[in-house]
Chains A and B, each alone.
Chain A
Amino acid sequence: EAEVAQSPRYKITEKSQAVAFWCDPISGHATLYWYRQILGQGPELLVQFQDESVVDDSQLPKDRFSAERLKGVDSTLKIQPAELGDSAMYLCASSFGRGPYNEQFFGPGTRLTVL
């Protein structure tokens, strides 16, 4: 069964360092999402791609976060510099198309701890 892959699964870093997370969506899925899930809360959308284009990054802290999906397949989310408040689970999801009728499939996430 096809799955969304994410790496690393766990990342510990010190504040002010740079970190990067990688996501490989299900083959053929044009839409890719990055979510942040703070402990005890539900996921919050950070950025949504349609192929290689960003269609929603309204909740992405653009002073320190960046995301790219250069060839419209896999994607990288970067934080530079990391802050203590960035400690969270970062989830990637993909769907065949945009909109609520297209089910989103989630990866296992990357748990980030900033010391």
Chain B
Amino acid sequence: AQSVTQPDIHITVSEGASLELRCNYSYGATPYLFWYVQSPGQGLQLLLKYFSGDTLVQGIKGFEAEFKRSQSSFNLRKPSVHWSDAAEYFCAVTPTQGGAQKLVFGQGTRLTINP
């Protein structure tokens, strides 16, 4: 079945430490790939997206993500987290084949930052 999975429900890291959030997808053809962030009381904001080309994608707020076709993954990374990065992070995909070209979200990873 087609799906997008975020294996980690909750991650805690110390301020200044590096971060990697995992995302895996299961689609016949590589879908379009997105990462969104949802801060308390705010709407989702697009961090970055991948359609094709360079597999390392740079986004806003110092985030980057790497597409690995062999692993069906699109992991989000940040070299050094700040307390303001505490939020919920969602990986999302849009299938490139079939009629339903809509965003399908993973269940999210909640990020907590220790001071």
Q: Which residues of A contact B (CB under 8 A)?
A: 4, 40-45, 48, 56, 58, 91, 93, 98-101, 103-109
Contacts and interface: CB of A to CB of B under 8 A. Distances in A.
Interface residues of B, number: 21
Nearest to B32: A100
Contact of A106 (B43, B100, B102, B108): B43
Interface in B82-103: 90, 92, 94, 100-103
24 contacts: A4-B43, A40-B9, A40-B108, A41-B108, A42-B90, A42-B106, A42-B107, A43-B90, A45-B102, A48-B102, A56-B100, A56-B102, A93-B43, A93-B44, A100-B51, A100-B103, A101-B51, A103-B49, A105-B43, A107-B43, A108-B41, A108-B42, A108-B43, A109-B43
Q: Sort A-B residue pairs by CB-CB distance and give the 4 closest, nearest first.
A: A42-B105, A106-B43, A100-B94, A106-B44
B45 interface: yes
A105 B45 CA distance: 7
Given A100-B32, A100-B51, A45 B103 contact: yes
A44 B44 CA distance: 13
